[in-house]
Amino acid sequence: MMSPEDYMLPCLNKKIFGLDCMGCGMQRSIAFILNGDFIQAFQMYPAIYSLIALIGVIFINYFKNFKHAYKIIIILAIINAILILGNFTYKTFLN
């Protein structure tokens, strides 16, 4: 029986240059969430939950505009940028 990992796309950056990209770990993190392993999902890709929140707010705001949506989206985008850059820096230079 095939597992979800058999269908995951390879990271071309990692294959060509041997370095993780800023999105490395996201697919496996989603697979962990779908399997109910929420802590492992965070450890694999720390920005996963803030990305889900950002996408959720954007999606809800698309259909029903709500007060302060713009501020919430900006704050979540900044949090995501910090988490993604921090994780990338850690994996690339400190690990």
Number of folded domains that form the chain: 1
Residue 1 has pLDDT above 80, yes or no: no
Burial level of 41, CB count in 10 A (0-12/13-18/19+)? Answer: buried
Q: What's the predicted TM-score (pTM) here?
A: 0.83
Domain with 28, as residue range(s), is 4-94
Chain-centroid distance, C-alpha 48: 4
Can you read off the two tokens belonging to residue 93? 């230079």
pLDDT of residue 82: 97
Q: What confidence score (pLDDT) does residue 4 get? A: 64
pLDDT confidence bin for 64, thresholds 50/70/90: very high
| C-alpha–C-alpha distance, residues 37 and 74, integer Å | 28
- d(Cα 64, Cα 62) in Å, to the nearest integer? 6
Residues 50 and 45: their CA atoms lie apart, in Å, by 10
- Across the chain, what does the average pLDDT equal? 89
